[in-house]
């Protein structure tokens, strides 16, 4: 434009340039749309699918794999890591890809305009990239420190809220001081990270403009000597500024390739969670008996169960007693495959547990334990998980059998929202909801793992009576410390250190005057 329009004053060239300008603006709008919407949309869609995939992988994971991981870590993989993946994708896709093409195009333009000048720049170029990568590394280091201190901060808050009541009774000022440190680190690292951001960007500018000065010097010299025209030189300068700008973006994109690698690895940890297989023989309910044959279980080198041999007949009520940590819960959790890795065999009727389709086994087993899980949802939805098609009448009946009369106090009845982890209920109230779920699920095999421990004796007796009637013909495995409710049991086994040391009817074990007798007399006196 400088040479043809301004200097030679060619009106047709002016028209052509305006026409080209309009076309360029049109293409630019298309590009901006792709960059501003289509690309983010595609990355959001990818994240949507990833979230769904990761959640399903967690749902189908082996219980043991979830237990051994830490909750905060899983959550951060599904939130923070996905977020940084999005950021990196965005930077890579938008900045890197688009600017990469700009770089290539501009290099072509520069060579076309003046290859000698371009060569001079190429020779000076390494200084430019070296300083960039130097400042880039410092910047990355502080940005990482900032991320880490943010993670500490989040964890601190979430743990404080989780253990709030207990913490209140301990030394709060201790926490205050600890938090001050955590908080200070966030502040310091955030400030440093921003400082080096600015230093980095300004170093880019200083270097870029020094190069420009060098070019003006050398270019000006070539114009004066008549080797290039003024127009050529200005076109070169314009193209060069675009190139410098684009190289910055490409470099930033390259940094994100580095940042995204560990993030992808963390996400893959969830995507590669060992999955449960759901195939095999369909279990339709117990016909004859469950038999544990020489069952041993070792976790991390500790022998948890030792040579368990046990037969539970269909319809039998089995009580398991033993000291804390003796292996009672582990023994019963083998049945719904919440614990895996045993040796020996567990026969359910004619087939080994491992031959059955897992979901069909779990469908027929109900469990009430000390740990009750309440969703932050309505009472109704908390019950429907046990029987999605239950009517309100069924729900109320189940609650009645579980002696959950406290629901009359709830302002919205079944529609009352129970709060996070059922925070508005007492331990005993939560346990009664879990018992109501069992009446709704109506399983073939019922496991009660200290599932009435939070109840008073009177309520417990009432509920056990209801359970006895309701599950008259069903198989029940119950673990209890309260020997007074053991009279439901047809058979009692006593476990010590992962071994069955006594087995038989109540009368037989009392007569034997062994461990069970000792437990029983102690509990009677207490």
Q: In the bound complex, what is the minimum distance in angstroms from residue 448's beta carbon to ligand ADP?
A: 12
67 binds, among Mg ion, ligand ADP, none (CB under 5 to 8 A by kind): ligand ADP
Q: For residues 123 and 415, what is the distance between their CA atoms, to the nearest angstrom? A: 74
Q: Choose between 188 and 303: whose C-beta lies nearer to Mg ion.
A: 303
Stretch that binds ligand ADP, among 198-206, 327-335, 360-368, 469-477 (CB under 6 A): 327-335
Q: Choose between 370 and 442: whose C-beta lies nearer to ligand ADP.
A: 370
Q: Choose between 246 and 453: whose C-beta lies nearer to Mg ion.
A: 453
Q: In the bound complex, what is the minimum distance in angstroms from residue 328's beta carbon to ligand ADP?
A: 3
Q: What share of the chain is helix, strand, coil (3-state, %, to 5)?
A: 65, 15, 20
SS3 per residue for 282-300:
CCCCCCCEEEEEEEEEEEC
Helix (H) or strand (E) holding 103: helix 98-162
Q: In the bound complex, what is the minimum distance in angstroms from residue 330's beta carbon to Mg ion?
A: 8
Binding to ligand ADP by CB under 6 A, coded x per residue (else -) over 328-357, reads xxx---------------------------
Q: In the bound complex, what is the minimum distance in angstroms from residue 59's beta carbon to Mg ion?
A: 24
Stretch that binds ligand ADP, among 72-80, 123-131, 263-271, 317-325 (CB under 6 A): 317-325
Q: How many residues lie near ligand ADP (CB under 6 A)?
A: 12
Q: By C-alpha distance, which of 358, 443, 452, 346 is closest to 402?
A: 452
Q: Contact between 324 and ligand ADP (CB under 6 A)?
A: yes
Q: In the bound complex, what is the minimum distance in angstroms from residue 450's beta carbon to ligand ADP?
A: 8
Q: Choose between 93 and 327: whose C-beta lies nearer to ligand ADP.
A: 327
Give the DSSP letter string of 62-80: -HHHHHTS-HHHHHHIIII
- Asked if residue 378 lies in contact with residue 458, where contact means CB atoms within 8 angstroms, the answer is no
191 binds, among ligand ADP, Mg ion, none (CB under 5 to 8 A by kind): none
Helix (H) or strand (E) holding 368: strand 365-369
Stretch that binds ligand ADP, among 227-235, 298-306, 396-404, 422-430 (CB under 6 A): 298-306
Q: Choose between 324 and 469: whose C-beta lies nearer to ligand ADP.
A: 324
Q: In the bound complex, what is the minimum distance in angstroms from residue 364's beta carbon to ligand ADP?
A: 22
| The two structure tokens encoding residue 20 | 């080209």
Residue with tokens 């003796």: 326
Binding to ligand ADP by CB under 6 A, coded x per residue (else -) over 426-455, reads ------------------------------
Q: Contact between 304 and ligand ADP (CB under 6 A)?
A: yes
- Closest residue to bound ligand ADP by CB: 329
Q: For residues 77 and 53, what is the distance between their CA atoms, to the nearest angstrom? A: 13
353 binds, among ligand ADP, Mg ion, none (CB under 5 to 8 A by kind): none
- Asked if residue 117 lies in contact with residue 219, where contact means CB atoms within 8 angstroms, the answer is yes
Q: In the bound complex, what is the minimum distance in angstroms from residue 335's beta carbon to Mg ion?
A: 14
Q: By C-alpha distance, which of 327, 330, 348, 355 is closest to 340?
A: 330
Q: Choose between 72 and 325: whose C-beta lies nearer to ligand ADP.
A: 325
Q: Which of 93, 327, 428, 443 binds ligand ADP (CB under 6 A)?
A: 327
Q: Choose between 67 and 376: whose C-beta lies nearer to ligand ADP.
A: 67
SS3 per residue for 301-364:
CEEEEEEEEEEEECCCEEEEEECCCCCHHHHHHCCCCCCCCCEEEEEECCEEHHHECHHHHHHC
Q: Contact between 70 and ligand ADP (CB under 6 A)?
A: no
Q: For residues 233 and 221, what is the distance between their CA atoms, to the nearest angstrom? A: 11
Stretch that binds ligand ADP, among 250-258, 318-326, 404-412, 459-467 (CB under 6 A): 318-326
Interface residues with Mg ion (CB under 5 A)?
Answer: 329
Strands 351-352 and 343-348: antiparallel
Q: Contact between 325 and ligand ADP (CB under 6 A)?
A: yes
Q: Choose between 255 and 446: whose C-beta lies nearer to Mg ion.
A: 446
Q: For residues 495 and 402, what is the distance between their CA atoms, to the nearest angstrom? A: 29
Q: Which of 136, 219, 253, 322 binds ligand ADP (CB under 6 A)?
A: 322
422 binds, among Mg ion, ligand ADP, none (CB under 5 to 8 A by kind): none
Residue with tokens 């709008």: 29
Q: Read off the DSSP letter of residue 501.
A: E
326 binds, among ligand ADP, Mg ion, none (CB under 5 to 8 A by kind): ligand ADP
Q: Choose between 300 and 408: whose C-beta lies nearer to Mg ion.
A: 300
Q: Contact between 300 and ligand ADP (CB under 6 A)?
A: yes
Give the burial string for 70-99 (b: 16+ CB within 10 Å, else e): eeeebebbbebbbebbbebbbbbbbbbebb
Q: Choose between 315 and 344: whose C-beta lies nearer to ligand ADP.
A: 344
Give the burial string for 127-161 (b: 16+ CB within 10 Å, else e): ebeeebeebbeebbebbebbeebbeeebebeeeee
| The two structure tokens encoding residue 386 | 């046990």
Q: Contact between 326 and ligand ADP (CB under 6 A)?
A: yes
Q: In the bound complex, what is the minimum distance in angstroms from residue 404's beta carbon to ligand ADP?
A: 26
Q: By C-alpha distance, which of 476, 455, 509, 511 is closest to 322?
A: 509
Stretch that binds ligand ADP, among 91-99, 138-146, 299-307, 486-494 (CB under 6 A): 299-307
- Summarize as ranges the residues that interact with ligand ADP (CB under 6 A): 67, 299-300, 304, 322, 324-330
């Amino acid at each position: 434009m400088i040479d043809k329009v301004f200097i030679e004053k060619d009106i047709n060239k002016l028209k052509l340039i305006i026409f080209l300008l309009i076309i360029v603006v049109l293409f630019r709008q298309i590009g901006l749309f792709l960059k501003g919407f289509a690309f983010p949309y595609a990355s959001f869609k990818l994240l949507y699918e990833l979230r769904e995939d990761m959640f399903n992988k967690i749902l189908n994971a082996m219980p043991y794999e979830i237990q051994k991981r830490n909750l905060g870590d899983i959550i951060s993989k599904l939130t923070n890591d996905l977020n940084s993946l999005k950021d990196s994708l965005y930077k890579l896709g938008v900045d890197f890809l688009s600017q990469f093409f700009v770089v290539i195009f501009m290099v072509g333009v520069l060579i076309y305009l003046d290859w000698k000048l371009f060569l001079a720049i190429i020779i000076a170029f390494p200084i430019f990239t070296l300083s960039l990568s130097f400042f880039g590394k410092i910047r990355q280091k502080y940005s990482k420190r900032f991320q880490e201190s943010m993670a500490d901060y989040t964890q601190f808050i979430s743990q404080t809220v989780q253990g709030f009541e207990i913490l209140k009774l301990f030394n709060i000022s201790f926490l205050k001081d600890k938090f001050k440190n955590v908080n200070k680190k966030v502040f310091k690292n955030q400030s440093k990270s921003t400082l080096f951001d600015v230093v980095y960007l300004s170093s880019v500018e200083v270097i870029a403009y020094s190069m420009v000065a060098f070019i003006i010097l050398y270019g000006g010299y070539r114009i004066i000597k008549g080797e290039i025209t003024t127009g050529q030189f200005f076109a070169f300068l314009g193209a060069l500024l675009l190139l410098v700008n684009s190289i910055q973006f490409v470099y930033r994109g390259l940094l994100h390739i580095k940042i995204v690698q560990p993030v992808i690895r963390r996400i893959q940890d969830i995507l590669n969670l060992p999955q449960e297989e759901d195939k095999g023989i369909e279990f339709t309910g117990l016909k004859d008996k469950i038999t544990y044959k020489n069952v041993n279980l070792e976790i991390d080198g500790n022998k948890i169960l030792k040579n368990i041999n046990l037969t539970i007949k269909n319809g039998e009520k089995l009580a398991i007693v033993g000291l804390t940590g003796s292996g009672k819960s582990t023994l019963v959790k083998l049945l719904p495959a919440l614990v895996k890795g045993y040796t020996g065999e567990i026969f359910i009727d004619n087939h080994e547990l491992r031959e059955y389709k897992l979901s069909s086994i779990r469908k027929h087993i109900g469990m009430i334990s000390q740990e009750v899980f309440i969703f932050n949802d309505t009472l109704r939805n908390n019950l429907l998980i046990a029987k999605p098609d239950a009517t309100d009448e069924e729900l109320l009946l189940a609650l009645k059998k579980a002696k959950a009369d406290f629901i009359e106090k709830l302002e919205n009845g079944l529609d009352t929202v129970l709060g996070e982890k059922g925070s508005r209920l007492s331990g005993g109230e939560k346990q009664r909801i879990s018992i109501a779920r069992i009446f709704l699920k109506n399983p073939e095999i019922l496991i009660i793992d200290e599932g009435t421990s939070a109840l008073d004796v009177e309520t417990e007796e009432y509920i056990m009576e209801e359970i006895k009637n309701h599950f008259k013909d069903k198989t029940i495995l119950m673990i209890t410390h309260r020997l007074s409710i053991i009279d439901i049991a047809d058979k009692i086994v006593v476990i010590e250190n992962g071994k069955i040391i006594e087995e038989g009817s109540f009368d037989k074990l009392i007569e034997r005057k062994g461990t069970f007798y000792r437990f029983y007399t102690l509990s009677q006196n207490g």
